[in-house]
Amino acid sequence: MQLSCPAPILQHETVQMAHGAGGRLSQELTARIFMPHLQNAFLDQLDDQARFDAEPGQIAFSTDTYVVSPIFFPGGNIGELAINGTVNDLAVGGAVPRYLSAGFVLEEGLPLAELETIVRSMAESARKAGVMIVCGDTKVVQKGQCDKIFINTSGVGFIPDGINVSCRNLKPGDAVILSGTIGDHGMAVMTTREGLSFQSRIKSDTAALNGMIRDVLDVVPGVHAMRDPTRGGVAATLNELASSSSVGIELEESAIPVREEVRGAAELLGIDPLTVANEGKMLLIVPEADAEAVLAVMRANEHGREAVRIGKVVEEHPGMVVMRTPFGSRRIVEMPLGEQLPRIC
């Protein structure tokens, strides 16, 4: 492979403070770990900024920082999460994601082999999602000052004319659609964490959803709102949507798909899957007349096979999400309070 940086390869096994100091070791890190995987026409310039042409329509811009612990979990790692998360944040706004930045904070002593695995995953995820990592930065902090690796990704995408997807667009009568089972990512991370000494087969659902979203918007450009229910889960996302649009949302408890293993783990930990993070799921609010068409497109995609309608938007109880139980009673679905368990995204 042609390396664009001619620095001598110093063989360190772990991240050193000097890897972030801008000298020869920084070059080594770039040459040995980052460039072989992330190489593209923009990065090869090694300039302080990436330059690209704007596309017609609006520009969408998003950022997110990933601090998940543990950094490797069943179904993925922090690198995949960092790419898919920002891709999804752009895509749920109706944008076609294009260019990403990647900022790394590395803890002194992190094995370089682990860093390389993470970077390789980022490259693969970017390729799958059809985006390019066009600029980046690395800092190293002393042991104990961060937890192995933190990654920030920011992304730019372009929203084609005629698309207007917003959390303020919900209308009474709209259908609430969920792309698949909930709680997989959060439970995969929680059950792997130190101290929880039981094993499960739960895998994170981390995935880039921009392809499926593109397909949906091609068929139904009038989708009212889309969100990926990450931190705080479906409960937090729907509460935000209800309050942004000053409408109520009514859910059908029996319609919400939860994997058997996730339900079991949630029961054991006393956690409501509705409040658990997802990293490869989306919620769509669409006019009732378009609901079946949207479901058909989603079910044809690998990330939406289990897409279902879980409820509807109502005029009553604005700002509030209400669940109808299988017993015929109702309860409020609260905005989750906050995290007692460790960081999951």
Chain residues binding another protein by CB under 8 A are 195-196, 260, 263-264, 267, 270, 317, 320, 325-332, 334, 337, 340-341
C-alpha 287/C-alpha 51 separation (Å) is 39
Minimum Å gap between C-beta 315 and another protein is: 15
Closer of 47 and 316 to another protein (Cβ): 316
**312 strand-pairing partners:** 175, 250
Closer of 8 and 195 to another protein (Cβ): 195
C-alpha 274/C-alpha 271 separation (Å) is 9
Residue among 112, 113, 105 nearest 150 (CA): 105
Place of tokens 């938007």: 313
Minimum Å gap between C-beta 234 and another protein is: 16
Give, in order, the Cα–Cα distances in Å from 17 to each of 10, 25, 65.
Answer: 14, 9, 22
Closer of 112 and 202 to another protein (Cβ): 202
C-alpha 89/C-alpha 337 separation (Å) is 23
Closer of 1 and 337 to another protein (Cβ): 337
Closer of 7 and 258 to another protein (Cβ): 258
Closer of 6 and 326 to another protein (Cβ): 326
Type and span of the H or E element at 268:
helix 260-269
Closer of 187 and 216 to another protein (Cβ): 187
Minimum Å gap between C-beta 326 and another protein is: 4
Q: Side chain identity at 27, as an amino acid letter?
A: Q
Minimum Å gap between C-beta 327 and another protein is: 5
Closer of 168 and 201 to another protein (Cβ): 201
Q: Cα dihedral sign for 24, 27, 33, 36?
A: negative
Type and span of the H or E element at 322:
strand 321-324
Minimum Å gap between C-beta 70 and another protein is: 17
Minimum Å gap between C-beta 186 and another protein is: 16
Q: Are 249 and 311 in contact (CB under 8 A)?
A: yes
Structure tokens that stand for 41 in this block: 């026409």
Minimum Å gap between C-beta 144 and another protein is: 14
Let me know the angle formed at the C-alpha of 273 by 269 and 274, rounded to the nearest 5 degrees. 140
Closer of 18 and 258 to another protein (Cβ): 258
C-alpha 102/C-alpha 100 separation (Å) is 7
Minimum Å gap between C-beta 201 and another protein is: 15
CB within 8 A of 69, min separation 6: which ones? 147, 148, 189, 193, 342, 343
Minimum Å gap between C-beta 200 and another protein is: 13
For residue 22, with 0-12 CB atoms within 10 Å meaning exposed, 13-18 middle and 19 or more buried, which class applies?
exposed
Residue among 168, 181, 175, 162 nearest 293 (CA): 175
